[in-house]
Amino acid sequence: MTALLFCLLACYTAGILLPPCLPGRPKAQNVLANGLAIAASLFGVLLGLAGLLAAAPLTASISSTLPFLTFAVRIDPLAAFFVLTISLAGLAVSIYALGYLTEFYGRSSIGLMGALYNGFLLSMTLVVIADNGFFFLIVWELMSLVSYFLVVTEHEKSEVRYAGLFYLIMTHVGTAFIILTFLIFFQEAGSFSFAAFRHLEQPLPEGLRTLAFLAALVGFGTKAGIVPLHVWLPYAHPAAPSHVSALMSGVMIKTAIYALLRVYFDFLGGQFPWWWGFTILAVGAVSALLGVMYALMEHDLKSLLAFSSVENIGIILLGIGAGMTFQAYGLKEFAALGLLAGLYHTINHALFKALLFLGAGSLLYATHTRNMEEYGGLLRRMPWTGFCFLVGSVSVAALPPINGFVSEWLVFQSLFLGFHLPVVLLNLILPIAAAMLALTGVLALACFAKAFGLSFLALPRSAHARHAEEIPVAMRLGMGGLAAACVFLGLAPMVVVPLLDRVTEPLAGVSIEGRVLALDGWALAPTNVEFSSISTPAIAVMLGALAGLGLLLAWAFGGRLRKRAYKTWGCGINLTPRMEYTATGFVQPIKRIFSTLYQPTIKLETEFLEESHYFAKHRRFEFHIEPVFQKYLYDPVVLFFSAVADRLRIVQAGSLHLYLAYIFVTLVVLLLVAV
Amino acid sequence: MFQISPQLGSQLVDLCAALLLLTCFAIVAQRRLSACVDLFALQSVFLAATAALVAFLTGIHHIYVAAALTVVIKAVVLPRILKKVIERLNVSRELQMNINVPAGLLVCGTLVILAFYITQPIIPLGFLLTRDSLAIALAIILIGFFTMIARKKAVTQVVGFLVMENGLFLGATAAAYGMPLIVELGVFFDVLVAGLIIGIYTHRIQDAFDSVDTSKLTVLKE
């Protein structure tokens, strides 16, 4: 394991240092950077698996000259699971990037991008294996900064700069809260080592524990993108190059989930009052529902996917929140189930969201636009991309038998188990959360029916879409690998659950592998087979059999009918793209139903002919929904700060002498005070 | 080898320091740029003399090196660079100032009193024979700083900066018989480089604004 860790670090470091050494040769830089990233993430996959199966955690450390800072790493099952998740996604994305980066030849520095990309993967890996608070904060900041630089790759566009700035500010606000969390532990432990955090000499007083809980929720929640701290996500994730978006949305936000689990279950020892779990549940339910509702309204494919990440973080938090609630009442087996469901969804989301973002990247590569209204009919031109995107869509919409379904089903089951709790309030709340999750699931289905249908089906809506061509092989390979992984994780829970059980066992204190896997692993049963159980391989077989039956019937009864090839009937008129559903039209019913939330502004301006008011010359239709959180929560804060800053501008006269005088007066006053 | 009693040595050091302070006032009162530079060179010679005196009195040899470097760099090289800059820029006098000469002298007088007032509680704690010049060193630093604020031409601001540096050197000698030689060498190198850079910079300001008046830099503000 140590050797694997060393190889991983060496490859990433080489990937950071070497590509910029070949200036002017973008092709070599691309191959070198992504080749090293592929090698490193392969080592990462092995390291993650080894860490999950190892009997004892791997620890290593190098001391430094700075006080309190030790470069300590520790790979326990929790860390190993996240290393595995990061590396799996990193592997596929790196393969994809080999092809995707050709788009940037001559526009951006490939060497710099490659170096930052490797640095990004390295810092994420280090975040989850760091075993020292100081070291953790350093790599956490590194991760944020490197991803900021990747977001602003196309900094010549003003909206990209805006997105970058927004992200930078939000992530630093978050980091401030994370530092607060660690300082609370540090004050009690006297050291930044995680081991000291874990075994405090005196337990933290109740008030400080609560403060640590809330500070961690806000700090890491900002990175995870929980509502209402999610506002940066739909700006920053689409602005980055697509392979980076895939990593940011699929993997980076998961490091926050890791950190939350680390703080709550490891440092705080899994001892919670009931309302902590309730808070996480509420945050999760709201994030899931609002995330998907805003995703529905997006016409920019990448923004849609970013909002969908908010939704999925919500689903993960629902699982974890259920786990924490059960933990508070000592129902350890159910707690383990909730955590397992959350973690299962974590790795699933990492894979299918990376897949979808890569799909969006392919569409961008082929059509040079992110606006869904300009796609259409792409399945014919890009069958590979279309198929992979379909697998991702099925998965994110939680349709059986692919992976998104399994984990969402497990989250549902853990919420249904709420009737075991001894408090009536919670007996009610968990089913309500389940109901919100159900609504989320339906809306997600609508959302991805829209995303897939409008992009790939019907006729091309623009010249871009008409002239689209299939993407290079490397990109297809990366997406195909992820699609295969999605199918595998869905059909083989008997492989995944035992691995996840090794993660949740130390957190919840009990192993549930034997209970959850029924019928030699061919079925999943959260409590026992009578309560509920499901078998994805069986579903897959049945679906396959049904499809086969349909084909068989069609062949048996329809085979002898005379076939006539003719274009689609359009009531006697030639079909044109203008007859198609638009993305706006598709979501119109949902927009009507939830108009309280969306607060849509609809403007229809008509200019009539002078002769008659019955004939319109021009029509202009304008529609947008209110960004509620930005308007009522963020704008006032921003306004306040700019007002204060305006006042403070008076002292910034721009005169050299005045600045010198400031320093001089300060010096003299301080000297006088010191006397 | 003849000996000087500590009392007398201390008095001699104070005398040299007082001469340094006097040149400071002369710089503040002087409008002609080349004269300012000359006065700075003179001040540096006095500083070197102080350092040499301290080296002689204490027998710490590396202070001699510092003194020699002071003469070479601050009394010869830097003034020459500055003179060249003045010649090329064709500015000889400073007509406009932020604070005029009489008021400036009054402020400087106040600064000296302030420096003595501030260092008063510290000086009795010291046991070195140079301890009294600490107050003068602080006064020189403050006056150098004040020169940078009061004058508009970039060249005089450089002189102000260098005067501050001289004050710091004197302060280090006064408080601790000078810094370790390696630090001293580093500081000399820094000052030399700073002098060169500022010299070039002044040219750039001249090119961009047709003047070395730094208050014109205000237009750089958005």
Nearest CA in chain A to B141: A664
Nearest to B215 among A655, A661, A668 (CB): A655
Average pLDDT over residues B136-157: 88
Q: Name the phi and psi angles at B97, rounded to 5.
A: -130, 160
**Residue A509: predicted pLDDT:** 86
Residue B125: DSSP 8-state: G
Query: Is A612 a domain residue?
Result: no
- From CA A359, how far away is CA A322, in angstroms rounded? 33
For residues A446 and A536, membership in a common domain is answered with yes
Query: What tens digit of pLDDT does each residue of A32-67 get?
Result: 999 999 999 999 999 999 999 988 888 888 887 777
**Residue B85: predicted pLDDT:** 82
Hey, are the CB atoms on B121 and A657 less than 8 Å from each other?
no
Query: Is A271 a domain residue?
Result: no
Mutate to test the interface with A, among B116, B148, B149, B168 (most CBs of A within 10 A): B149
- From CA B19, how far away is CA B42, in angstroms rounded? 10
Is A517 in a helix, a strand, or coil? Answer: strand
- At CB < 8 A and 24+ separation, what contacts does B172-175 make? B173/B50, B173/B51, B173/B54, B173/B63, B173/B130, B173/B133, B173/B137, B174/B17, B174/B128, B174/B130, B174/B131, B174/B132, B174/B133, B174/B134, B174/B136, B174/B137, B175/B126, B175/B128, B175/B130, B175/B131, B175/B134, B175/B137
Give B6-55 as a DSSP string. HHHHHHHHHHHHHHHHHHHHHHHH--BHHHHHHHHHHHHHHHHHHHHHHH
Hey, are the CB atoms on B142 and A668 less than 8 Å from each other?
yes
**Residue A439: predicted pLDDT:** 94
Cβ pairs A/B, distance under 8 A: 42
- From CA B166, how far away is CA A441, in angstroms rounded? 75
Percent of chain B exceeding pLDDT 70 equals: 95
The whole-angstrom distance between B58's CA and the closest CA on chain A is 30
**Residue B1: predicted pLDDT:** 52
Hey, are the CB atoms on B217 and A671 less than 8 Å from each other?
no
Nearest CA to A321 out of A372, A257, A251 is that of A257
From A523, A548, A573, give the residue that closes a domain: A548
Kindly tell me if the per-residue pLDDT of A231 is higher than 70: yes
Query: What tens digit of pLDDT does each residue of A18-34 get?
Result: 988 888 888 899 999 99
The two tokens of residue B18 are: 């007082």
Contact call for residues B154 and B201 (beta carbons, < 8 A): yes
Read off the pLDDT band of A559 (50, 70, 90): low
Q: Range with the lowest mean pLDDT among A46-60, A257-271, A555-569, B73-87?
A: A555-569
The whole-angstrom distance between A655's CA and the closest CA on chain B is 5
Kindly tell me if the per-residue pLDDT of B43 is higher than 70: yes
**Residue A257: predicted pLDDT:** 95
Average pLDDT over residues B137-158: 88
Query: CB of B218 within 8 Å of any CB in chain A?
Result: yes
**Residue B221: predicted pLDDT:** 63
Nearest 5°: the CA angle A280, A286, A287 is 85
Query: Is A291 a domain residue?
Result: yes
Nearest CA to B31 out of B104, B106, B124 is that of B104
Read off the pLDDT band of A654 (50, 70, 90): confident
Average pLDDT over residues A552-567: 80
- The chain-wide mean pLDDT, for chain A, equals 90
Is A602 in a helix, a strand, or coil? Answer: strand
Kindly tell me if the per-residue pLDDT of A276 is higher than 70: yes
Mutate to test the interface with B, among A657, A659, A665 (most CBs of B within 10 A): A657
Kindly tell me if the per-residue pLDDT of B222 is higher than 60: no
Query: CB of B96 within 8 Å of any CB in chain A?
Result: no
- From CA A89, how far away is CA A42, in angstroms rounded? 10
- Judging contacts by C-beta atoms under 8 Å, the chain B residues touching residue A671 are 114, 118
Query: CB of B76 within 8 Å of any CB in chain A?
Result: no
- From CA B184, how far away is CA A650, in angstroms rounded? 40
Query: Is A302 a domain residue?
Result: yes
What is the value of pTM for the model shown?
A: 0.80
From A548, A579, A609, give the residue that closes a domain: A548
Query: Is A109 a domain residue?
Result: no
Average pLDDT over residues A348-377: 92
- From CA A187, how far away is CA A649, in angstroms rounded? 38
Helix runs in A512-634, H state only: 513-516, 536-558, 583-586, 588-593, 595-598, 628-629
The domain spans of chain B are: 6-216
ipTM surpassing 0.85: no
Hey, are the CB atoms on B117 and A675 less than 8 Å from each other?
yes
Query: Is A293 a domain residue?
Result: yes
Kindly tell me if the per-residue pLDDT of A386 is higher than 90: yes
What domain range is A485 assigned to? 284-548
Q: Which residues contact A492 (CB under 8 A, 6 or more apart)?
A: A537
Looking at the structure of chain A, the number of domains it has is 2
Query: What tens digit of pLDDT does each residue of A168-219 get?
Result: 999 999 999 999 999 999 988 888 999 999 888 888 888 999 999 999 999 9
Query: Is A642 a domain residue?
Result: yes
The whole-angstrom distance between B168's CA and the closest CA on chain A is 15
- From CA A265, how far away is CA A272, in angstroms rounded? 9
Query: CB of B34 within 8 Å of any CB in chain A?
Result: no
Hey, are the CB atoms on B214 and A675 less than 8 Å from each other?
no
Kindly tell me if the per-residue pLDDT of B146 is higher than 60: yes
**Residue A595: predicted pLDDT:** 85
- Judging contacts by C-beta atoms under 8 Å, the chain A residues touching residue B214 are 656-657
For residues A644 and A522, membership in a common domain is answered with no
- Judging contacts by C-beta atoms under 8 Å, the chain A residues touching residue B215 are 655-657
* Helix or strand run (H / E) with residue A63: strand A58-63
**Residue B2: predicted pLDDT:** 63
Query: Is A319 a domain residue?
Result: yes
Nearest to A656 among B120, B121, B217 (CB): B217
- The chain-wide mean pLDDT, for chain B, equals 84
From A531, A548, A565, give the residue that closes a domain: A548
Average pLDDT over residues A131-157: 93
The two tokens of residue B82 are: 């500055």
Query: What tens digit of pLDDT does each residue of A458-477 get?
Result: 888 888 888 888 888 999 99
Tell me the CA end-to-end span of chain B in Å, nearest whole number. Answer: 66
Nearest to B215 among A657, A663, A674 (CB): A657
Hey, are the CB atoms on B145 and A654 less than 8 Å from each other?
no
* Helix or strand run (H / E) with residue A72: strand A70-75
